[in-house]
Amino acid sequence: MKMSKGRTGRRLLGFAVAGVAQVACGAAFAELGQPAPWEFTLQESATPVMDDITWFHNFLFWLITAITLFVLVLLVMVVVKFNARSNPVPSRTTHNTLIEVAWTLIPVLILVGIAVPSFRLLFLQLDVPKADLTVKVTGKQWYWSYAYPDNGKFEFDSLLAQDKKPRLLGVDNEMVVPVNKVVRIQTTGADVIHSFAVPAFGIKIDSIPGRLNETWFKATKLGMFYGQCSELCGKDHAFMPIAVRVVSDQEFAAWVEGAKKKFATAPANSFASAGAATQ
């Protein structure tokens, strides 16, 4: 189907208006701890590590934008000022020491400027501080198991709950952690490689059979935080969400007491013990 120029223009204008409206609404729709419709930014941060990731992402974004615009301006200048019509007798200049030093040195300085916060962030992620509690996360086809070795050695399975909101993110048993406490995550896979990822916490770490990977987070906000398995692990890869509830110290202590009893006898626990038995 052929469109007239006017119609194409109107369509483009329509898309542009819709885009701007979505940009304006994107912030309004953004919800803590979960994705939002038409959201295109990073999820709102809930840990110091994610604060740094967000800062670094924005820093790079503006840097890249400035470099791209600078190169665009240079290209436009070349096209306009130095084409055959406006510049019929080209200069035969081949070297300019000052410019050559500058275009070597300035990119080096820019890369060093990127490297410093980049390495600082890497070390922040990789150096696990003294942990207040450890949660062992086991990825299984296709659900997660959480064990709390510091809090009474109970383990439970967390499966997708079809009836819960948000759709495809709600689970039957959430992982629960206290607010403002350093939580060490130790993760492994029981069958194939999975990946434990919670965007608002800035963590994503592979759960590999036969290995114990380690990461950490310190949630500074109360609420529900969702993530998903982030390594293709089989047919139900998309249906093994991660749900973390961040609560106060008192609520956490109460939850631990309840969980010890609930998961000592819960039938769902057979999944966890079945996984352990086959290892």
**CB of residue 176 vs Cu ion: minimum separation in angstroms?**
21
Site for Cu ion (CB under 5 A): which residue of 143, 194, 226, 246? Answer: 194
Residues 153, 157, 160: CA angle, nearest 5 degrees: 155
Site for Cu ion (CB under 5 A): which residue of 233, 242, 247, 272? Answer: 233
Nearer to Cu ion, 132 or 191 (CB): 191
Q: Minimal CA–CA distance to 33: which of 206, 217, 254?
A: 217
Residues 274, 194, 231: CA angle, nearest 5 degrees: 150
Dihedral sign from CA coordinates of 108, 114, 116, 122: negative
Range in contact with Cu ion (rule: CB under 5 A) among 70-78, 93-101, 160-168, 189-197: 189-197
Relative to beta strand 133-140, strand 143-147 is antiparallel
d(CA 72, CA 87): 20
Site for Cu ion (CB under 5 A): which residue of 36, 229, 242, 246? Answer: 229
> What mask of x and - would describe binding to Cu ion in positions 76 to 115, judged by CB under 5 A?
----------------------------------------
Tell whether residue 219 is a contact of Cu ion (CB under 5 A): no
- Count other C-beta atoms under 10 Å from residue 66's C-beta: 11
Q: Are 211 and 188 in contact (CB under 8 A)?
A: yes
**CB of residue 160 vs Cu ion: minimum separation in angstroms?**
12
- Count other C-beta atoms under 10 Å from residue 182's C-beta: 17
**CB of residue 241 vs Cu ion: minimum separation in angstroms?**
10
Two tokens at 94? 């081949």
**CB of residue 214 vs Cu ion: minimum separation in angstroms?**
18
d(CA 80, CA 78): 6
Range in contact with Cu ion (rule: CB under 5 A) among 13-21, 157-165, 172-180, 227-235: 227-235
**CB of residue 73 vs Cu ion: minimum separation in angstroms?**
47
Nearer to Cu ion, 140 or 184 (CB): 140
Nearer to Cu ion, 124 or 192 (CB): 192
Nearer to Cu ion, 205 or 233 (CB): 233
Q: Residue 213: helix, strand or coil by DSSP?
A: strand
Phi, psi of 226 (to 5 degrees): -115, 150
Task: Map the footprint of Cu ion across residues 260-279, applying CB under 5 A.
Answer: none
Residues within the interface to Cu ion (CB under 5 A): 194, 229, 233
